[in-house]
Amino acid sequence: MIWIAIIIALAVAAALVDEGHTGAARSFKMAASTGVVLMFWSGNPAPSPYGWAILAALIASWIGDLALSFPGRGAFIAGLLSFAGAHVLYSVAFVVRSPVVVVLVPALVVVGFMGWRTCEWLVPHAPGELKVPLVGYVAIISIMVVLAFATQGTMLDARIPFGAVVFAGSDVFVARQRFVSPGHLNRVIGLPMYFTAQPLFVASV
């Protein structure tokens, strides 16, 4: 629990830093992101296949965090690609952990509907060259959430689907910041959500 408290405290500090102090915000954010990786290693000296997949996703997320801490379209696209990779790796981890997909169909219907509505909301605001990548990203994270719920078919662990939903919610605020309504509130809500989700995945290992 101490790791989670430290990580969330750093995330809140990053979110509350004034937008003009990008260096301080980046430092707090990357400290939180590094803390998630250290939390993994502190509790998993000999990771399972599931653990290795989670670690790979954490490293991809760390790279994405670094990219998104810089301004500009190039940094945003690099962050988008890194997090798309992280979501694919999380999806792999969930399949490795629990290949039985008892709850797949209901989750697929609900998450698919939410993903479709998210695209309806975001895509009109995105520049032309980012519309297709944005739809692809929503599809990737939607699959990740569905597979997170599917893990409950064999081994119940509410941290996994809850973490996936919170992670997806944090991505909504990243997109809102970039395409719809920029503002400090997006960071204040989105960063703590994201840094709640990542430790939950680590704890599930």
Structure tokens at 45: 């000296």
Please report the DSSP string for 67-126 in residue order: HHTS-SHHHHHHHHHHHHHHHHHHHHHHHHH----TTHHHHHHHHHHHHHHHHHHHGGGS
Question: Residue 21: its pLDDT value, please?
Answer: 72
> Which amino acid makes up residue 97?
R
- pLDDT per residue over 52-102, tens digit each? 999 999 999 999 999 998 988 899 899 999 999 999 999 999 998 886 656
97 in Cβ contact with 151 (< 8 Å): yes
Q: Over its length of 205 residues, how does the chain's per-residue pLDDT go in tens digits?
A: 788 889 999 999 999 986 667 888 899 999 999 999 999 988 776 678 999 999 999 999 999 999 998 988 899 899 999 999 999 999 999 998 886 656 677 788 889 899 999 999 999 998 888 899 999 999 999 999 999 988 876 677 889 999 999 999 999 999 999 889 988 899 999 999 999 999 999 999 8
CA count, 13 A, side-chain hemisphere, 107: 20
DSSP 8-state assignment for residue 154: T
Question: Residue 100: its pLDDT value, please?
Answer: 62
Domain chopping of the chain, boundaries: 2-204
Question: Residue 18: its pLDDT value, please?
Answer: 67
Question: Residue 37: its pLDDT value, please?
Answer: 95
